[in-house]
Amino acid sequence: MNKILWVFDLDSTVLNNNHREHFVQADDWDSFHAYEHVIKDPQTDWVREMDLWRNGKFRYGSYCYLTARDEDTRPASKDTLLGHGMFGPRTQLIMKDTPRLGQFAHEKGHHFKPRVLLSLAHANPDTTFIFFDDDEDILRVMEAVAHPKIHVVDSLDTPDVWLNYYVSTYNIPAAW
């Protein structure tokens, strides 16, 4: 039987980081990634309105998060998700390694996420991955890859409609 794994990006997909955008404009990445600011990220409207998570359980089964946030933001990211009831004991939060001092640059999200998704698909051939992200570069790369077991959803383009489409297509029962 084919398994389904829902894969969600964090920023602008399930969490709204607009209140931190002024740090980007000021090129203040330390403040943008600071615990005291990240922990205040609210859920995005579509996630809140659809009541998708309760006590760490996703309404439609197994899920994980795949984010281009650096590993050093894990405590704030996890605590934010916990605060919204969106992180359970078996939840995976896949993040980029934090660049070490002296490294020229760290891996960009549109390289990191496709690499991870393809690796997951290769390691789990009996699983279909439904991936929600808002980054056009990542979406374009994944569409070009056209892996038959990875479905890509633009989380800025009616994600609720797409979620309902996949729930219906794969006949996935709701947990509540």
| Residue 85 DSSP one-character state | T
| pTM (predicted TM-score) | 0.92
Going 99 to 136 to 117 to 15, the CA torsion angle's sign is positive
Tell me: pLDDT of 1 over 70.
no
CA 65/CA 7 separation, integer angstroms: 6
Write the pLDDT tens digit of every residue in 46-75.
999 999 999 999 999 999 999 999 899 999
Which of 1, 70, 3 is closest to 32 using CA atoms? 70
pLDDT score of 80 more than 70:
yes
- Which tens digits make up the pLDDT trace of 30-54? 899 999 999 999 999 999 999 999 9
Q: Are 123 and 116 in contact (CB under 8 A)?
A: no
Which residue would you say has higher pLDDT here, 170 or 1? Answer: 170
CB 113 within 8 A of CB 134: no
Q: Counting beta carbons within 10 angstroms of the beta carbon of residue 137, is it exposed (0 to 12), middle (13 to 18) or buried (19 or more)? A: middle
Look up residue 73 and give its two tokens. Answer: 């933001």
Q: Record the tokens describing residue 29, joined without a space.
A: 């990445």
Residue 103 has a pLDDT of 53
What is the identity of the amino acid at 147?
Answer: H
CATH numbers and ranges of domains, the chain: 3-169 (3.40.50.1000)
| Spatial separation of the C-alpha atoms in residues 98 and 138, rounded to whole Å | 20
Distance CA 60, CA 153 (A): 16
CA distance linking residue 151 with residue 30, whole number of Å: 34
Give yes or no for a contact between 117 and 96, defined as CB atoms under 8 angstroms apart.
no
Q: What confidence tier does 81 reach under pLDDT thresholds 50, 70, 90?
A: very high
In the chain, the amino acid numbered 32 is F
Q: With a cut of 60, say whether residue 105 has pLDDT above it.
A: no
Residue 104 above 60 pLDDT? no
